[in-house]
Copies of this chain bind each other. A is one copy, B any other.
Amino acid sequence: MRGSLHDVDGFIIDLDGTVYRGKEIIEGVPETVALLKEAGKRVLFLSNRGNISRKMCYDKLCGMGLAVAEEEIMLSSTATARYLQQNNPGCQAWVLGEQGLKDELIAGGIALAAKPEEADWLVITLHETLTYHDLNQAFRAVRSGARIIATNADKTFPGDGGDCIDVAGMIGAIVASTGKEADVVIGKPSRFMAETALQELGLPADRCIVIGDSLESDIGLGKQAGMKTALVWSGSTKKGTAIPEERRPDWIWDSINDLRALL
């Protein structure tokens, strides 16, 4: 394990499993984040959540007692709006997903199509109130020529009563029935998500660390982008899990609170 975090200026912190679990904050996190800021560090909360808006996430974190600015949050929904704005300004989007994503696209300057047939892009995210009608509308968007972009491609998320089917299922339904592949997947560990995070922080990769509970999403993103990485046992990865060489993080902590000793 490496020594201190003195030469790290930007802290890219995952949310689910790192800051909170479900509706509960992980003990000590508000104090740890406050310490980071007192030490003059820059902080960005980076999450694959694509079905909520930044505003919704901000309200949730504030409600949990975390002192955070809305600009310190980057969700895959936020990043998806930014991708479309950068790569296809003026495009129209059809959403297979929830209101949070729609809000975030509109906030990011992306117009929502009035009909699926008029969409340039089908944007897919987790949709926990999905119906057959929703699937069929999304199917029609793609059959009418819309390209497919997904906020993320996670297969499962921990929900009430165990693991639940996540965005990968929604993508699979559209891909299998239309024969078209997803053109873009935004979420961690994508290069776009890493670049967006660095842009937000205004720092080079080697002065940043990614802290998260997922070997694939968090450690994967950090290592690919040349950042430092820390795995926490407080979320989906069980303590003691065997870690393949290419995913070995610079630090392994019980929780993000362990970083206090290294500041």
Identical copies of this chain, number: 2
In the complex, chain B residues whose CB is within 8 Å of the CB of A170: 173
In the complex, chain B residues whose CB is within 8 Å of the CB of A199: none
A156 at the interface (CB under 8 A from B): yes
Interface residues of A in 56-82 (CB under 8 A from B): none
**Closest B residue by C-beta to A130:** B132
Q: How far is the CB of A110 from chain B (nearest CB, A)?
A: 24
Q: Mark A124-139, 1 if CB is under 8 A from B, else 0.
A: 0001111110011001
Determine if B176 and A139 form an interchain contact, defined as CB atoms under 8 angstroms apart.
no
Determine if B139 and A164 form an interchain contact, defined as CB atoms under 8 angstroms apart.
yes
A129–B135 CA distance with the chains assembled, in angstroms:
11
Determine if B165 and A172 form an interchain contact, defined as CB atoms under 8 angstroms apart.
no
Interface residues of A in 125-173 (CB under 8 A from B): 127-132, 135-136, 139-140, 143, 155-156, 162-166, 168-173
Known contacts: A175-B176, A177-B172. The answer to whether A136 contacts B165 by CB under 8 A is yes
A99 at the interface (CB under 8 A from B): no
**Closest B residue by C-beta to A137:** B165
Determine if B140 and A132 form an interchain contact, defined as CB atoms under 8 angstroms apart.
no
A178 at the interface (CB under 8 A from B): yes
A174 at the interface (CB under 8 A from B): yes
A240 at the interface (CB under 8 A from B): no
Determine if A169 and B139 form an interchain contact, defined as CB atoms under 8 angstroms apart.
yes
Determine if A178 and B155 form an interchain contact, defined as CB atoms under 8 angstroms apart.
yes
Known contacts: A132-B130, A140-B162. The answer to whether A156 contacts B177 by CB under 8 A is yes
Determine if B177 and A155 form an interchain contact, defined as CB atoms under 8 angstroms apart.
yes
A179 at the interface (CB under 8 A from B): yes
In the complex, chain B residues whose CB is within 8 Å of the CB of A168: 176-177
Contact of A127 among B128, B132, B156, B179 (CB under 8 A): B132
In the complex, chain B residues whose CB is within 8 Å of the CB of A165: 132, 135-136, 139, 173-174, 177
- 4 closest Cβ contacts across the A-B interface? A172-B176, A169-B177, A172-B172, A139-B165
23 chain-A/chain-B pairs, Cβ below 8 angstroms? A128-B132, A129-B131, A129-B132, A130-B131, A131-B131, A135-B169, A136-B164, A139-B165, A139-B169, A140-B163, A155-B178, A155-B179, A165-B174, A165-B177, A168-B177, A169-B176, A169-B177, A170-B173, A171-B176, A172-B174, A172-B177, A173-B173, A175-B176
